Amino acid sequence: MATRSRTQAPAGPVHVAVIMDGNGRWARERGLPRSKGHEAGAESVRAVVRACRDHGVRYLTLYAFSVENWKRPRSEVQGLMQLLRRFMDKEEHLLHEQQIRLRIMGRLEDLPKTVQKKLTRVMEKTSHYNAGELILALSYGSRTEIATAARRIAEKVQAGALDPAAIDETVFARHLYIPDVPDPDLMIRTSGEMRLSNFMLWQLSYAELYTTPVLWPDFREPQFAEALEAYRLRDRRYGGLSSPVKRERASC
Ligand code: FPP
């Protein structure tokens, strides 16, 4: 696992989160149905999972389906669910080969039963791997996550299991979906959009943001490597002062 210190330039991000955007536009540009854009997007998922190992990225979180995405046409939602199941059938071996643990962040219970079953089985089979983690945000919404955490905390307080005076950032964060995963260092959004779209609002507080006009189906290893390089040139201050080395480099 990559290690880092806050006094050194980061060697590379430990946790990368991605808003995979532009599948529909990619398909439209080619006169294809949107489903073809999602299929090509699944190829990019495969490529980026592989690239993480080569670049020493331990955690990869992908925004694969938001709570808002349920509002899309039924046929598109069904297509995405089928694609997800097919992807797991086809690519499960990749997780075993690379010893990657699969995790889901979001309301798994909202997904079709067959998809839930498949994902749960793969999560169980990969739960002991520790070379890396692939986290799929599914039926995920950050406001839902935060409201759910607040409700769980309130229930504990009501039951007398938690003192309100003890609630601080650390305690709150412990009630989010996957509390043991460190916050993302880098958040990539493809297709040129400049929004967070209800994605990891709490966890991205200090993340470096990187946006690219490249559409997700065209985002492969070279584009990922470019994003990592941009990250390495950033000066992460966490509210402190910039490092002299980085200030000098930035002025070159
Ligand atoms: C956003 O593009 C993409 C999605 C809502 C779905 C993401 C799904 C995949 C990349 C495919 C499969 C995923 C896995 C994990 C196997 P959009 O449809 O909003 O594009 P647009 O803004 O150009 O219309």
Per residue in 147-202, pLDDT (tens digit) is 999 999 999 999 999 999 999 999 999 999 999 999 999 999 999 999 999 999 99
Measured CA angle at 102 (ends 1, 36), to 5 deg: 115
Q: How much distance in Å is there from the Cα of 40 to the middle of ligand 1?
A: 9
Residues of the chain with pLDDT > 70: what percent? 92
State yes or no: pLDDT of 251 exceeds 60. Answer: no
Assigned token pair, 102: 């699969």
Minimum-distance ligand 1 atom for the alpha carbon of 76: 18
Mutate to test the pocket of ligand 1, among 18, 19, 21 (most ligand atoms within 8 A of CB): 21
Beta carbon of 42 within 6 Å of any ligand 1 atom: yes
**pLDDT for res 51:** 97
State the average pLDDT for the chain: 93
Residue 237: inside a domain: yes
> For 105-123, what is the mean pLDDT?
98
Cβ of 60 closer than 6 Å to ligand 1, yes or no, is no
Regarding the beta carbon of 67 and ligand 1, being less than 6 Å apart is answered: no
Question: Is a pLDDT exceeding 80 seen at residue 115?
Answer: yes
Phi and psi (nearest 5°) for 110? -80, -20
Q: What is the mean pLDDT of residues 61-85?
A: 98
Q: Is residue 8 part of a domain?
A: no
Number of domains in the chain: 1
Q: What is the 151 CA–ligand 1 centroid distance (Å)?
A: 30
> Which residues are paired to 135 by β-bridges?
61, 103
**Does residue 226 lie in a domain region?**
yes
Classify residue 9: in a domain, yes or no: no
Whether residue 1 lies inside any domain: the answer is no
Assigned domain for 166 exists: yes
The answer to whether residue 179 sits within a structural domain is yes
Looking at residue 1, its pLDDT comes to 38
Lowest-confidence region among 22-36, 195-209, 235-249: 235-249
Ligand 1: does its nearest atom lie under 6 Å from the Cβ of 45?
A: yes
Question: Residue 41 above 70 pLDDT?
Answer: yes
Classified as helix, coil or strand, 171 is helix
Give the pLDDT score at 9.
52
Q: Which positions are annotated as active-site residues?
A: 21, 69
Which 3 state secondary structure label does DSSP give 226? helix
Whichever domain contains 41, its CATH number is: 3.40.1180.10
Q: How far is the CA of 244 from the centre of ligand 1 (A)?
A: 41
Neighbours of 16 (CB within 10 A): 28
Residue 237 pLDDT: 73
Q: Is 138 in the pocket of ligand 1 (CB under 6 A)?
A: no
- Domain region containing 209: 15-250
Residue 46 lies in a domain: yes
Percent of the chain with pLDDT over 90: 88
Structure letter (DSSP) for residue 130 = -
Average pLDDT rounded to a whole number, residues 68-82? 98
